[in-house]
Structure 1
Amino acid sequence: MTGPTSRRTVLAAAIAAGVTAAAPPALAAARPAGDSPADDSSAATDEATEEAPVDYRSWTGYPDWLTGEAQGTRAVADPRPGIVIGRATGSTDYTDPHTRATATWETATWTSPPHTPPHPASELVASWNADTPAGTWIQTELGGTYTDGTATPWYVLGRWAAGDGDIRRTSVDDQSDGRSSVWTDTFSIDDTATGLRLASYRLRLTLHRRPGTQLTPTVWRIGAMASDIPDRFTVPASVPGEGRGCELPVPRYSQEIHKGQYPEYDNGGEAWCSPTSSEMVIEYWGRRPTAQQLAWVDPSYVAPQVDHAARHTYDYQYQGCGNWTFNAAYAATYRDLNAVITRLHSLNDVERLIRAGIPVITSQSFLADELDGAGYGTSGHLMCVVGFTEDGDVIANDPASADDAAVRHVYKRSQFETIWLRSKRYNADGQIRGGTGGVCYLYWPLRPSPAQTRVLGELGIR
């Protein structure tokens, strides 16, 4: 399932067959410190970084919120730094396109300072972490400057609320100036062959609340991954490194056992790879919905938290649960979890995260004969990398499995790396389609361990 533009990166789609944790849960079969084999993975990663630049920039600490331009918002330091509505400076009548209901909302805004990535970008994906109590919601926008000095429009990247009682969370399609476009969760340059790129950008947050109340959303993090991944059908294989023999105890959930449940959310469980993968990692970090939150789910359903995740990641415009940004936003609604969307350069980056105790949710697309052992082909699918074998092959919790017991898979390293990192591929009809170029979801606790902080920092994430 892809968006209607050739540069649209692949979203999660239906399968074509059908506690504040300061440290991670214990690693299974982890190597002793310093027992990693000698290899040239660092050099390979440096080369990949240069060839396919990725820059993640966020505003998340209290000093960050004091920068930029605030119109009615104010920064709060405790218990988690963020911005809130200090005083309403505007109002808007919003007609929800999915319910046709019109309501008036008070607003306040915060706009980041301009950020210039080290390399101009052909794509950008934003992500945010926020709390939106009933009666509130947020809108996120992008405004940028092209490499020729001209400006982009202000593009809406999402209208979002954790629940669905006030507005229907939604992306906004058909935004374009003829040079760049936004489809679902991704800003992209329409024709990269022209050499045009995004040189700098700002992110703008508009916080909404019911008039006459003191309600407010709280935004803890806003950031974006800007990248320029070249057109590539193959990628160089990485050398197995420090992740060999490490496997994280991530819960295993199948999307397939939810077939037919709540078809109003992307046709039921068969298409729920993204929220199912998100739920696995949320629970790995010791968080999960309460019994009260799950009360709406049919009590006869097994693993009702997967149904809950699907409902609360559902994008009413995309009509699916595979909006990358909305999955990260959902994960961050749980107590003291950070969540971002970024790109990584190789499985060596994933190994470093696994060794530090951080699972990685990856997005990929492939034909049935391109990934041995999967047993299906897909135009877009999310799964969770939880470890590596002693030989360096990938251990993945693949939600496209018959039941929870069958979720653990071992996939060949070279095959997995190719289908995940490539930006171009051929479909079953021999037509050229897009690949994700290494997109992943990363979720980790507010107070990570020193090892986690170090590895995230080395990957440009704080």
Structure 2
Amino acid sequence: MSRAEQPSRRTVLAAAASVAAAAVAQGVVPAVPAAAATESDPDAEGTGRAGPSQVEYCCWTTYSDWRTGTAVGVEAVGGDRPGVVIGTAAGTTSYTDPHTGKTATWEYGTWTGPVHRLCVPATEAVVSWNADTPAGTWIKVELRGTYSDGTDTPWYVMGRWAAGDQDIRRTSVDGQGDGRSGISTDTFALTDPSTGLRLASYQLRLTLYRKPGTDLTPAVRRLGAMGSDIPDRFTVPASVPGPGRGRELKVPRYSQEIHKGQYPEYDNGGEAWCSPTSSQMTVEYWGGRLTAEQLAWVDPSYADPQVCHAARYTYDYQYAGCGNWPFNAAYAATYQGLQGLVTRLGSLTDLETLIAAGIPAMTSQSFLASELTGAGYGTSGHLMAVIGFTADGDVIANDPFSPDDDAVRRVYARREFENVWLRTKRYNASGKVTSGSGGVCYLYFPVAPTPAQTTALAAVGLR
């Protein structure tokens, strides 16, 4: 997510659990959710999956799903990949792009999803989406929640997004909050979970925009949210090797480091491109390819120009980086036949279940150099693609923070990897308590998965 040797600008989890961290340091009917993924119970033995459910992912993807929402100026469409599109627009509105200063008028329509009551009252939520946005169109994604005390949050903007960067600049929105919750780049988080307050339910809202007087339309194909309540923990229980042992997927290897200094307008160049590099490796594993025309803007002297392309088209102009989680998932879904989402997994067993079905995962982790043997660096936030497991159950990863493409494949000790990925608290190099991702990952998989892949996704709470 961030440049490996510098602090991440992401503040996810830090504000949401500041009080709890200090304490630890001292001592479809409408979008029926798949079974919530189980998390690790600190007292459990074996796989560490015996604890209560703490993560729930819910999504809208089918024609029936899209019919459950309230549509104003949009309509549901069926076919091979159902979604919502603009019909007869609800009206016009103006938008001033904060990153260009340009004001333009747009026709728009809205789709508001039904209220979804969380099976797991949450401290955090991440919304992700898949959409087609032809030139002249874009979308806005919002979330409104109801707290466990019955009061409501404001409508929070979770992203203003387009696949391209000519009509608007895709952006997260800073400065949103009501004193009890707020948005940190791409994550809804409660300000103080120690009070017992939780997000009990939520609604999602889409606004689709197009140039006035045209028949252009964006099409949103998947909309989902991951809610979670992961306890503060510096360590997680050790798992035992499972279904992914001895399986390694043939995922292309790309280094972010060979792009140092290239296109510094996108977060100072390749040294900060772990997220789009991991995304591009995984997209190409599934057969996604860019045309010469799409890559024509890249300096022809640069190796692996597709990594430069991924950086440009995942870049969040507010965050000023390429590590916005939903923007990466949305980028992957711009490739024909692919869909993407952001969630949390509960254990390495979950990861092995996916690997065994041929599905790699991009995981987010933070660690000191001494905590992950063989990495050779420390990071406050870094993405890599998990592509397999050795016969002994150790993790095989394509780690983009490598000097060249040949060096990208790494094997990391199972126990070390699961801890730096699944924990929510850690000590940084200064000895201060800071946050960990708690098992965050991006998953990209086919629009039409195989039966085995469908089963594996369902086993980890996804569809």
Q: How high is the TM-score relative to the length of structure 1?
A: 0.91
**Is 1:427–2:428 an aligned residue pair?**
yes
Name the residue aligned to 2:279: 278
- Is the 8 Å Cα contact of residues 16 and 192 (structure 2) preserved in structure 1? no
**Is 1:47–2:55 an aligned residue pair?**
no
In 1: Cα distance, 2:153 partner to 2:69 partner: 19
**Is 1:3–2:4 an aligned residue pair?**
no
Which letter does structure 2 place at the counterpart of 1:182? I
- Is the 8 Å Cα contact of residues 130 and 218 (structure 1) preserved in structure 2? yes
For structure 2, the residue ranges without an aligned partner over 5 or more in a row are: 1-7, 18-43
Name the residue aligned to 2:21: none
In 2: Cα distance, 1:237 partner to 1:42 partner: 8
SS in 2 for 1:318: coil
In 1: Cα distance, 2:310 partner to 2:45 partner: 36
In 2: Cα distance, 1:300 partner to 1:42 partner: 53
Give the direction of change, closer, same or farther, for the CA distance of 1:43–1:89 in structure 2 (3 Å limit).
farther
In 2: Cα distance, 1:322 partner to 1:42 partner: 34
- Is the 8 Å Cα contact of residues 8 and 183 (structure 1) preserved in structure 2? no
Q: CA deviation at 1:289?
A: 1.3
Deviations 1:104-135 (A, max 9, x none): 11110001111111120000001000000000
- Is the 8 Å Cα contact of residues 55 and 225 (structure 1) preserved in structure 2? yes
**Is 1:293–2:301 an aligned residue pair?**
no
Q: CA deviation at 1:336?
A: 1.4
Q: CA deviation at 1:43?
A: 7.0
SS in 1 for 2:122: coil
**Is 1:137–2:138 an aligned residue pair?**
yes
Please identify, of 84-93 and 274-283, the stretch whose mean Cα deviation from structure 2 is larger: 84-93
**Is 1:370–2:378 an aligned residue pair?**
no
Which letter does structure 2 place at the counterpart of 1:44? T
In 2: Cα distance, 1:279 partner to 1:8 partner: 31
- Is the 8 Å Cα contact of residues 257 and 402 (structure 1) preserved in structure 2? yes
In 1: Cα distance, 2:462 partner to 2:251 partner: 22
Name the residue aligned to 1:346: 347
SS in 2 for 1:120: strand
In 1: Cα distance, 2:246 partner to 2:45 partner: 19
1:42-441 correspondence runs (5 A):
44=47, 46-48=49-51, 50=52, 53-441=54-442
In 2: Cα distance, 1:54 partner to 1:401 partner: 32
Name the residue aligned to 1:15: none
Which letter does structure 2 place at the counterpart of 1:84? V
In 2: Cα distance, 1:99 partner to 1:438 partner: 36
For structure 1, the residue ranges without an aligned partner over 5 or more in a row are: 10-40
Q: CA deviation at 1:460?
A: 1.8
In 2: Cα distance, 1:137 partner to 1:431 partner: 41
Deviations 1:259-286 (A, max 9, x none): 0000000100000000000000000000
Deviations 1:65-119 (A, max 9, x none): 1001111110111231011001110221100000000001111000111111112
- Is the 8 Å Cα contact of residues 347 and 417 (structure 1) preserved in structure 2? yes
Q: CA deviation at 1:46?
A: 3.8
Q: CA deviation at 1:250?
A: 0.4
In 1: Cα distance, 2:302 partner to 2:279 partner: 19
SS in 1 for 2:157: strand
Aligned pair count? 429
Which letter does structure 2 place at the counterpart of 1:403? D
In 2: Cα distance, 1:155 partner to 1:263 partner: 30
In 2: Cα distance, 1:101 partner to 1:47 partner: 53
Name the residue aligned to 1:28: none
In 2: Cα distance, 1:46 partner to 1:359 partner: 20
Give the direction of change, closer, same or farther, for the CA distance of 1:422–1:2 in structure 2 (3 Å limit).
farther
SS in 2 for 1:53: strand
SS in 2 for 1:447: coil
Q: Over aligned residues, Cα RMSD in angstroms? A: 1.3
- Is the 8 Å Cα contact of residues 385 and 398 (structure 2) preserved in structure 1? yes
